[in-house]
Structure formats: structure tokens, C-alpha cells
A and B are shown apart, each in its own frame.
Chain A
Amino acid sequence: MRVADLIFSSTFLATIIRMTTPIMFASLAGVVVARAGMMNLAIESTMLTGALAGVLFSAWTQSAWLGLLGAVIVGILLSAIIGYTALVLKADMFMNGVAFNLMMGGGTIFILYLVSGSKGMSTGLLSKVLPTIHIPFIENIPFLGEVLSGHYVLTYLAAIIAVLIHIFLIKTKLGLRLRLVGENDQAAESVGVNSLRIKMLAMCISGALAALGGCFMSMHYVSWFQTDMTAGRGFIGMASAALGGARPSGAFVAAILFGTADAVAITLSMLSIPSELVSIIPYVVTIIGLVISTSFMKKQKGLLNRAKQNIFTVKEQKQ
């Protein structure tokens, strides 16, 4: 088996697209909260909970779309709770995120056990899967068709949402306010922007996006929920949001970079290369990417860093 045959093929590009999708959702979720001057550590557990909610709601309603809707609502609720405790009750946001990750790691198993009587996976439930989309015309183009057509509906949605988030942040009034709150929420308050409401909105958007990423795992990739099935993709998404400088376009490219690294790693693992070497590829790519992007962003003054500094200065002032 030759490397070239595996890598230079349309199916390899299709693999990249599939592996990128969940990271893309998590990454966009990270971008929105970062732009609002926050950090949502609970993206991973929101994904996991969304994956479970999608399966449970679709099994209950026997409709994949209602399952997806239910998962998005659960994702929004979960993030709203984190937002409320962190922003209104002034609990530490990072601790909150860590607590939610720990809670839902076990909580999803608990809920699964209550509903299906199993602690491992949900195969007993007749859950639905979302459809795949074959794009007419493009589907028939030899190489391009195999790469671009025949993907899951959430994959196309991820690309569309990336564009929408970009338009939302850059072109709309609400997006401008969100960025303003992220830059300096006291300045935003002084011109009459309700920073709390904006931050809650950012949390809710991030929850919805993370839940979509979770549904991709449980309603597309496989047709069931399984303990810890997101396997760290939420964290990789957060890394990719940081790598992309908290810009939708940057996060889009960074997510594809991570997806490619994953796809290369699994493809190379078919060959007689030591598996230890192959498994470090995604992490090496992360480090290289971070080095490149930070040196690139130095010129532009990294937005994320500034947002973080703002949080700390605000905290100091309050003290």
C-alpha cells in the first residue's frame, strides 16, 4: 500500500471534511465567547450533553430534526446556566467550566442509565440519524463531486454557520456591540450597551454551536450515544479558536488544519510507521500552528490576549 495512493485521493479530502466538522462547531463556539471577552471551558461537556440530548429527543419524537432542535435547546440552557452563575452570581467562569465538564462527564452516563438502563451506550434506543446531502450537478463532476458532495447535512451547516458568524460579528450592529463588550465592557456600558445581555447571548450561541457539534458525533458519525464519545474534540476546538486569533475566518482555517492533522494521522497509521510517531502528529501541528499564529498576531496585537487582559483589569478594579 503506498502513501501517495491514500493521501492524494478524493476520499482523503472527504475524510478531512468529516473530521473537521465537529472541531469546526466547537471552534466557532469558542470564537463567539472569546469575542465577547470570555472563555467557555465547558464546550467539551456541552458537546457531550448535546450528543446525548440529540439521541434521546430523536428516539422520543422519532424525528431526527426534532432531536437536533432538542439538543440545541439543551446546549443553550446549559450555557445559559454557566453564563448566569458566572456573570450574575459572579462565580469564577473557569471554575464553572471545569465543574460542568466534570459534572456532565458523569451526568451523561447517569441520564443514559435512567433512560435506557445502560451505562455504556444507547443502542437500545431507536434514535434517528440526520440525512446526508447529495448536491445535484456538483455530484456528477468527477473529482470535485466525490470531495464536496455526499456529506452529512451538519457538515454543510458548519460551513454556512462559519460565514454567518463572520457576517454577524463584522457586519451587524449586535456583532459590533458584542465585540465592543469583549474589548472593554465598561466602555460599552458607558455608551448604553447592556453588557450582561450581550455576554449571555454569546454564551447561548456558543452552547447551540457546541450542541450541533455533539449531534454530529451521535447522529451522523455513529447512530448512538456512547460514554465520552466526543473524546476531547471540544478542547481541540477551543485550541483552534485561539489559533485562529478568535476570528471566524482564522478559526475556520485552524479547524481544517486540525482536521487535516487527524486525517493524516489515521491514514498513516495504516502503514508500518510506529504508531507512537503517528499519534503525535495532531499535537505537533498544534504547537507549530500556535507558534506561527502568535508570531503573526504579534503585529496585529492578538485580540484574544487583549480580551483576557481586559478581564483581569476589570477584576483588579473591582477588587
Chain B
Amino acid sequence: MVLMHTNDKRQENGGISLMKRLFAILLVLVLAFTSSALVMAKAKEGPPSVCVVVGNASDKSFSESVARGAELVSRKYGAKTKVIEYGSDETKVLPTLEDLSDGSWDIIVVAGYNHLENVEDVAERYTKQNYVLLDTQIGPGYPNVYAADYKGNEGAFLSGALAAMVTTASTDEMPYANPEKVVGFVGGMDITLINDFVLGYIQGVQYIDSEIKVITSYTNSFTDAGKGKELAAIMYRSGCDLVYNGAGGAGLGALEAGKEAKKYSIGTDSDQALLFSNDPEKANLILASQLKSLDEHVVQLVERIMAGEEIFGLNESLGVAAGVIQLSDNEYYNTNVPQWMRDKITELEELITNGEIEVITAYGMKDTDVKRIIDGARP
């Protein structure tokens, strides 16, 4: 189905490129007679056309957020946009990018750190085409690529601070909080991407109260919800009153454990409370979700281009300061988390923004040091 889908799109593209070629010949003829055409091309106004290449545009997470960004751009500014899904076969990405680069898109957005090489490849060959690469940075020498990665550790810091305030709260404020100063983290895999979250989380927890302990564990799978649930269930039984998950689909199992244990959860990537809005008992226990608002980022990029800013050739690292990393601000957060905690989170956001708090990162840190911090936080 996905294959057919993309083929369809490609054929369409082929059609476009043929049309485009005919159009180009016409344009050259016009150019030969008038010099004003050059001025016309430079003074091109209006929003840029945006084509987004993602794996699965309804994954309730990363890719969906990027695809929604394209939708927002088209709704807000009437820009021509298109979302192309390559499914799970990453070998399709390069030919898709080649086809698109032959086309007439102003910007091609590629989401996912795993496509760095593909983008490097096409960017060298199609120097006139502009690319946006999200979730990783690119080396120097690519003047037609804008790349950005996200400081997930800063969001994890905020989650950790919230977790710490909840676990130390009295039962009057947080009815399911227990006296033990322990919180948990269910991660997807023991890799730097996830450990970057763990370190931020531990730092956030111990920023509020250095005595609070953090149990960290990994599902070794991003789809096994059953395993995520069992891991979280053990944490809740070991004295945790809040478990924060960063394990994709496996992490959702942790929310189920939270509901059964009647204890709190914090989610990642998508607004997990809204995912379960038809199950209020569970949704009310999901105090917040750490969001990576890629949709917001895509809109910001288009706005910057429209304002005439030259963004291509830049590498950026975006976090709380840019408003891309944040905690979900929904009805569950506003009703279930007391005002003073929410104020504290806002205050911490400001401290991170103006650089007074520097959140540690697992990137570039030695593996043994990462382990030392994680093990040091265990009860």
C-alpha cells in the first residue's frame, strides 16, 4: 500500500518534471528576448513551496509533527505543500529526494537523523535546491542545507523537575504521591539518544531535591508495550509514584501500568494524555508530556524565509529557548498539576533560556561517565 502510494506520487512527479521541462524551454525563449524575466524571478514573492519527506505521517510522534507543520504552513500562508511517506524502507529515501530535487519545490524537508548521508549526497549534486534536515546537524560545506537538532535533554530536565515536585508533594496536593523519594524512567534502549533524556531527567529531579533517587530501565524495544508496562509496574511497586517514559510505543505500556497502580506518569514526543482522552482515568494520571514541536519549528522556518532571512547553510540546536522543546500545556496539566508547580516550571524554562541552568548532555560524554551518573541516581 505504502509502496503503491509513493510510486503514484513519483509518477505524478515525473509528470510534473516533464511539464516543468517544457515550461523551462519556454522560459529560456522568453529570457532570450526580455531581460525583465530575470528581475521577475528574483522578486518572487509569497510563501515558499514545501515538500516534506517522512517515514509515517501518522506515527503519533516525531514524523506526524513534521507533517502537521507542512499542513499549518499551507493553512496559514497558503503555501503549496506536500507530504511524502516512504514507510519503513529507508532505501526509498534517496531516489525520492532525487526525484523531488528535479522538481520545482522551494524547500525539501527531510525528517530524521538517519537521513544525513542522503541529504549530503543530494545537496552536493543539486546545488540550486534548498533542503531542510531535521533532528541532526550537518557538517560544513553545504550552503543549501539548513540543519537543526533538538535539545531533548532540556525537556527532560523540566520533566524531572516536575517529577521531583510531585514525589515530594503532600497527599493533599497530589493524592497518589507516596512518601518515598523515588521516581522512574522507562527508556527504549541504552543508547546516547535516550541517555541524553535520562541525564537531563536526573539533573532536573536532583535540582529540586538532591535526595530523590531515579530508577532507570530500558525496554530494548520501541514497540513492546507489554514489556514497557511490566517495567513500569515494577518501578511503581518499588516506591516510585511517577514514571517518565521515553520508549516510543513501548512507553505507552508504562501509562497502562500507571493507571493500574494509580500513580502518575509523564510522556514524551506526543501529547500522551490527549491520546487517551477517551479514558479520563488514565489521562488524568498523565500529568504532562514532553513535546518536541517540530510543527512549530517548520512554521518558524517558513516565516524566517518569508521575512528574507538567509537560513540555508546554518546549523542550529534548538531547545526550550526556541520554544520547540516544552511540556504539554493542556487541560490535564492545568487541572492536575498545582499552580505553584506550573509556575516553577515556567521559572525553570526562563532560567534555561537565559543560560543560568545548563543542562548536561550525553552527546560527547564518555559512556562510563553516563553510566556513573545513571547508577549513582539509583536507590
Which chain A residues have a beta carbon within 8 Å of chain B's beta carbons? 1, 6, 11, 15, 18-19, 22, 106, 110, 113, 117-121, 123-124, 126, 217, 221-224, 226-229, 231, 262-263, 266-267, 269-272, 274-276, 279
Residues from chain B with Cβ under 8 Å of A106 in the complex:
1-2
> How far is it, in angstroms, between the C-alpha of A121 and the C-alpha of B251 when the chains are bound?
13
A229 with B1: CB separation less than 8 A: no
Is B375 interfacial (CB-CB < 8 Å)?
Answer: yes
Interface size on B, residues (CB 8 A): 40
- Residues from chain A with a CB closer than 8 A to the CB of B60 are 118, 120-121
Q: A222-B229, A267-B234 are in contact. Are A110 and B224 (CB under 8 A)?
A: no
Given A1-B215, A110-B1, A276-B190: A231 in contact with B227 (beta carbons within 8 A): yes
- In the complex, the 5 A-B pairs of residues with the closest C-beta atoms, listed nearest first: A231-B224, A272-B375, A228-B223, A275-B190, A221-B226
In whole angstroms, how far apart are the Cα atoms of A6 and B379 in the complex?
A: 13
- Asked whether B217 lies within 8 Å of A270 as measured between CB atoms, the reply is yes
Q: Which B residues between 341 and 379 are near A, CB-CB below 8 angstroms?
A: 371, 374-375, 378-379
Q: Whole-angstrom distance from the CB of A146 to the nearest CB of chain B?
A: 11
Does B56 sit at the interface, judged by CB under 8 A? yes
- On chain B, the residues within 8 Å of A226 by CB distance are 223, 225, 249, 252
Q: Which of B56, B190, B230, B234 contacts A120 (CB 8 A)?
A: B56
Contact status B223-A6, CB under 8 Å: no
Contact (Cβ within 8 A) A231 B58? no
The distance from the CB of A3 to the nearest CB of chain B, in whole angstroms, is 12
- In this assembly, does B204 line the interface, its C-beta being within 8 Å of a C-beta of chain A? no
Among B57, B61, B227, B371: residue with most chain A CB under 10 A: B227
Contact partners of A11 in chain B: CB under 8 A: 237
Determine whether the beta carbon of A271 is less than 8 Å from that of B223.
no
User: Which of A11, A117, A119, A279 counts the most B-chain CB atoms under 10 A from its CB?
Assistant: A119
Cβ of B226 and Cβ of A120 under 8 Å apart?
no
By a CB distance below 8 angstroms, the chain B residues around A267 are: 234
Kindly name the residue among A120, A217, A223, A226 whose own CB sees the greatest number of chain B CB atoms within 10 A.
A120
Known: A110-B1, A118-B58. A221 touches B223 (CB 8 A): no
Q: Are B235 and A121 in contact (CB under 8 A)?
A: no
The residue on B at minimum CB distance from A132 is B260
**B220-257 Cβ-contact flags toward A at 8 Å (1 or 0):** 11011111011101110110000000000100110010
B157 interfacial by beta-carbon distance below 8 Å: no
Query: B58 to A279, Cβ gap below 8 A?
Result: no
- What is the minimal beta-carbon distance from A180 to any residue of chain B, in angstroms? 38
In the complex, chain B residues whose CB is within 8 Å of the CB of A15: 230, 233-234
**Is the CB–CB distance between A19 and B234 below 8 Å?**
no
Give the interface segment out of B106-114, B170-178, B271-279. B271-279
Asked if B8 CB lies within 8 Å of chain A CBs, one says no
Number of CB contacts from chain A to chain B under 8 A: 104
Min Cβ gap A235→B in Å is 13
Given A117-B58, A118-B60, A126-B278, A6:B234 Cβ within 8 A: yes
A275 CB contact (under 8 Å) in B220, B256, B379? B220
Shortest CB distance B54–A (Å):
11
Q: Which residues of B lie under 8 Å from residue A113 when comparing CB positions?
A: 58
Given A22-B226, A229-B224, residue A221 in contact with residue B256 (CB < 8 A): yes
Measured in the bound complex, the distance between the Cα atoms of B1 and A119 in whole Å is 12
Kindly state the separation between the CA atoms of A263 and B226 in the bound complex, as whole angstroms.
12
Q: In the assembled complex, which residues on chain B have CB atoms less than 8 Å from the CB atom of A274?
A: 371
B150 interface residue, CB < 8 Å from A? no
- The answer to whether B58 touches A119 (Cβ under 8 A) is yes
Query: In the complex, A276→B235 CA distance in Å?
Result: 20
B285 to chain A, nearest CB (A): 14
A19-B225 Cα distance, complex, nearest whole Å: 12
Residue B90 is within 8 A (CB to CB) of chain A in the complex? no
Q: Pull 27 A–B residue pairs with CB atoms less than 8 Å apart, ordered by A.
A: A6-B238, A106-B2, A118-B58, A119-B57, A119-B59, A120-B56, A120-B59, A121-B275, A123-B275, A123-B276, A217-B225, A224-B252, A226-B249, A226-B252, A229-B223, A229-B225, A229-B249, A231-B224, A263-B230, A266-B230, A269-B218, A270-B217, A270-B231, A270-B235, A270-B378, A272-B378, A275-B217
A121 touches B249 (CB 8 A): yes
Q: Which residues 111-148 of B sit at the A interface, judged by CB distance below 8 A?
A: none
Seed contacts A267-B234, A270-B235; 12 additional CB < 8 Å A-B pairs: A15-B233, A119-B58, A120-B60, A120-B249, A223-B256, A229-B223, A229-B224, A229-B226, A231-B223, A263-B230, A270-B378, A272-B374
> Given the known A-B contacts A221-B225, A229-B223, are A120 and B235 also in contact in the complex, defined by CB atoms under 8 Å?
no
A228 to B60, CA, bound (A): 15
Let me know if A119 and B56 touch, CB within 8 A. yes
Q: Evaluate whether A221 and B253 lie within 8 angstroms (CB atoms) in the complex, with A229-B224, A271-B378 already known.
A: yes
Min C-beta distance of A137 to chain B, whole Å = 24
Output the residue of B57, B215, B225, B252 with the most chain A CB within 10 A.
Answer: B225
CA distance A106 to B224 in the complex (A): 17
- Shortest CB-to-CB span from A94 to chain B, Å, is 24
How many angstroms from the CA of A226 to the CA of B222 in the assembled complex? 11
Q: How far is the CA of A226 from the CA of B60 in the complex (A)?
A: 11
Instruction: Report B194-224 residues with CB < 8 Å from chain A CB.
Output: 215, 217-218, 220-221, 223-224
Inter-chain CA distance A228–B275, complex, in Å, is 18
Give the contacting residue for B253; candidates A1, A120, A222; CB below 8 A: A222
Closest residue of chain B to A110, judged by CB? B1
Q: Which of B226, B234, B378 contacts A217 (CB 8 A)?
A: B226
CA A269 to CA B186, docked complex, whole Å: 10
B231 & A269 in contact (Cβ 8 Å cutoff): yes
Inside 8 A of A231's CB, which chain B residues have their CB?
Answer: 221, 223-224, 226-227
B131 shortest CB reach to chain A, Å: 25
Chain B, residue nearest A229 (CB): B225
Min distance, Cβ B125 to any Cβ of chain A, angstroms: 32
Closest-by-CB residue of B relative to A112 is B58
Residues of B within 8 A of A119 (CB): 56-59
